[in-house]
């Protein structure tokens, strides 16, 4: 025979499992970021917890299938579930996905992508212009698009992207070696609000394309031109047109001279600069940067003046005069004209210095 105490205990236990635990999880989950796998596991814990978590839409705004061998299939299945109908971020980096999956998204899951803001297709090398056209046609609110190291995407894919997604502010085309100035013109004409652009190793680009970007995308804050040796001072001088620029990677800019660097020094908000292997640069250019960019924090976190044999202690002294309160990282590895210094000597020049690399 069940007594009143047992009944009360069972009722309290049921209330705890049915109401209190789900409510606690719902509150906690909005304040911390739970991994996708953990969220799925929690759904299986109890029907009440399942209901509470599913009703919290902020938990289901991310789909991460990076490095998954069946990323495309999993993405299609996930977007079929009502809880993912307002997904905002999709990461498929290094995942196995093909054009056919992106066409399925367009034809059968388009309603789930209307709020998508971030799409990462880095190293998804089976994606072509056709896939780009298909998926971007159903992502009108996309703000960040990354397709690092894809040699199949051409100017046509970039044209379709710029026509379909008009609100892009972050674009990573690093390693997309089939893109030419035609693609850059599409970007320049359609993205005046662009803030971040990565063109690393897009080796077919010339001054003409870059100048269109610099003339029309004046709100750029980050520009990565790593390993692009075809540009000349004619284009580099126009970097001065970017008043909000904070990050600039010019590693391998073999044609950059002191004159071009002196123009870049007009970017007063620059904090992070990579001049690795800019072999034509001398003290004159670095001193102009030191004087013009007093907010400089990093002459690149890893490499800065690395490999520039034309600089001497004069540029170091100029950096000390104008950037001593902000500079925390400086790499002069390979700069044979800069003498060795003790830790105390360096801290006298740069009180906030945390990392200093010298040549061996």
Angstrom CA distances, 32 to 25, 27, 35, 115, 198, stand at 10, 9, 10, 22, 31
Mean pLDDT of 119-147: 98
Determine the Cα–Cα distance for residues 52 and 90; give it in Å rounded to an integer. 23
Mean pLDDT of 6-32: 59
Mean pLDDT, all residues of the chain: 88
* CB neighbours of residue 265 within 10 Å: 20
Residue whose C-alpha is closest to residue 274's, from 312, 325, 329? 329
46 or 327: which carries more pLDDT confidence?
327
Determine the Cα–Cα distance for residues 246 and 298; give it in Å rounded to an integer. 11
Q: Using DSSP, how many helices (H) and how many strands (E) does the chain show?
A: 15, 12
Q: At what angle do helices 181-190 and 207-216 cross, to 10 degrees?
A: 10
Least confident of 46-50, 147-151, 186-190, 288-292: 46-50
CA angle 50, 53, 55 (to 5 degrees): 105
pLDDT in tens, 65-115: 999 999 999 999 999 999 999 999 999 999 999 999 999 999 999 999 999
Residue whose C-alpha is closest to residue 255's, from 319, 210, 312, 188? 210
Predicted local confidence at residue 148, as pLDDT: 96
Residue whose C-alpha is closest to residue 289's, from 297, 44, 130? 297
Residue 333: pLDDT band by 50, 70, 90 thresholds?
Answer: confident
Angstrom CA distances, 301 to 165, 256, 355, stand at 33, 20, 8
Determine the Cα–Cα distance for residues 339 and 335; give it in Å rounded to an integer. 9
Mean pLDDT of 233-262: 97
Strands of 208-307 (E only): list them. Answer: 222-224, 247-249, 272-274, 298-299
Strands of 139-215 (E only): list them. Answer: 144-146, 170-172, 196-198
How large a percentage of the chain has pLDDT more than 70?
87
Determine the Cα–Cα distance for residues 153 and 270; give it in Å rounded to an integer. 31
Asked whether residue 252 carries a pLDDT value surpassing 60, the answer given is: yes
Residue 309: pLDDT band by 50, 70, 90 thresholds?
Answer: confident
Predicted local confidence at residue 347, as pLDDT: 87
Determine the Cα–Cα distance for residues 218 and 240; give it in Å rounded to an integer. 10
Q: What is the chain's length?
A: 360
pTM above 0.85, yes or no: yes
Tokens found for residue 39: 């969220």
Determine the Cα–Cα distance for residues 193 and 208; give it in Å rounded to an integer. 20
CA angle 163, 166, 167 (to 5 degrees): 155
Mean pLDDT of 331-357: 84
Tokens found for residue 65: 């299938």
Determine the Cα–Cα distance for residues 116 and 216; give it in Å rounded to an integer. 26
Mean pLDDT of 10-29: 59
Do residues 302 and 331 make contact, with C-beta atoms less than 8 angstroms apart? Answer: yes
Determine the Cα–Cα distance for residues 8 and 248; give it in Å rounded to an integer. 67
Predicted local confidence at residue 23, as pLDDT: 65
Mean pLDDT of 326-338: 83
Predicted local confidence at residue 111, as pLDDT: 95
Asked whether residue 167 carries a pLDDT value surpassing 90, the answer given is: yes
Predicted local confidence at residue 121, as pLDDT: 98
Residue 302: pLDDT band by 50, 70, 90 thresholds?
Answer: very low
Do residues 114 and 82 make contact, with C-beta atoms less than 8 angstroms apart? Answer: no
Predicted local confidence at residue 301, as pLDDT: 35
Least confident of 9-23, 82-96, 148-162, 165-179: 9-23
Predicted local confidence at residue 7, as pLDDT: 56
């Amino acid at each position: 025979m069940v007594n009143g105490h047992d009944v009360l205990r069972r009722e309290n236990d049921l209330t705890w499992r049915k109401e209190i635990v789900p409510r606690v999880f719902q509150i906690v989950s909005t304040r911390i970021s739970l991994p996708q796998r953990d969220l799925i596991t929690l759904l299986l814990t109890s029907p009440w917890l399942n209901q509470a978590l599913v009703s919290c839409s902020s938990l289901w705004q991310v789909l991460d299938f990076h490095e998954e061998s069946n990323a495309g299939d999993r993405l299609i299945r996930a977007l079929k579930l009502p809880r993912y109908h307002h997904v905002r971020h999709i990461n498929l980096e290094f995942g196995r996905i093909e054009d056919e999956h992106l066409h399925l998204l367009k034809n059968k899951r388009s309603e789930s992508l209307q709020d998508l803001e971030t799409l990462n297709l880095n190293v998804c090398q089976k994606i072509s212009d056709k896939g780009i056209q298909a998926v971007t046609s159903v992502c009108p609110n996309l703000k960040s698009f990354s397709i690092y190291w894809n040699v199949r995407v051409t100017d046509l894919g970039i044209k379709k992207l710029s026509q379909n997604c008009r609100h892009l502010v972050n674009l990573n085309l690093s390693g997309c070696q089939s893109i030419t100035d035609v693609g850059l013109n599409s970007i320049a004409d359609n993205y005046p609000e662009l803030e971040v652009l990565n063109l690393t190793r897009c080796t077919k680009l010339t001054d003409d394309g870059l100048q269109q970007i610099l003339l029309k995308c004046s709100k750029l804050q980050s520009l990565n031109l790593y390993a692009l040796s075809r540009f000349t001072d004619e284009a580099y001088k126009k970097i001065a047109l970017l008043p909000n620029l904070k990050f600039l990677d010019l590693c391998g800019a073999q044609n950059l001279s002191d004159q071009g660097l002196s123009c870049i020094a007009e970017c007063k908000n620059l904090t992070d600069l990579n001049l690795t292997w800019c072999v034509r640069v001398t003290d004159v250019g670095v001193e102009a940067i030191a004087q013009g960019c007093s907010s400089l924090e990093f002459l690149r976190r890893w490499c800065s003046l690395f490999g520039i044999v034309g600089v001497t202690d004069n540029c170091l002294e100029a950096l000390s005069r104008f950037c001593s309160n902000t500079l925390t990282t400086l790499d002069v590895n390979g700069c044979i004209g800069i003498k060795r210094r003790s830790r105390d000597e360096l801290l006298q020049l740069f009180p906030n210095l945390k990392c200093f690399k010298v040549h061996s």
